């Protein structure tokens, strides 16, 4: 136990679930882009990232279901934003770790 993490089975399950959710390159791009640009609808995210709306919607739905994104309806569109600021720190750590 190097970092003193809460190693309860429930906590480890949640950490593992988060890592699996962020293991897809498109989902990483989506989270990173939402941090940089703020709340956006599916159509804008898809266009900016070069993904189909269907792909983008599926990834957003997964991230929202897991509680990592907020979804707020405005008229006919749903705007997505990152729910946990801690994800930004995680993305920064991942970037540093992959620069080695």
List, for residues 43-71, the tens digit of each pLDDT value.
999 999 999 999 999 999 999 998 999 99
pLDDT at residue 1, rounded to an integer: 47
Contact 41, 77 (CB under 8 A): yes
pTM for the whole structure? 0.82
H helix intervals, the chain: 9-21, 25-37, 42-49, 53-65, 86-98
């Amino acid at each position: 136990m190097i970092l003193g993490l809460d190693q309860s089975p429930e906590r480890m399950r949640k950490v593992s679930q988060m890592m699996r959710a962020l293991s897809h390159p498109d989902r990483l791009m989506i989270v990173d882009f939402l941090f940089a640009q703020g709340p956006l609808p599916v159509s804008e995210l898809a266009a900016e990232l070069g993904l189909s709306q269907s792909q983008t919607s599926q990834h957003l739905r997964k991230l929202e279901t897991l509680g990592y994104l907020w979804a707020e309806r405005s008229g006919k569109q749903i705007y997505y934003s990152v729910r946990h600021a801690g994800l930004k720190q995680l993305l920064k750590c991942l970037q540093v770790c992959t620069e080695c």
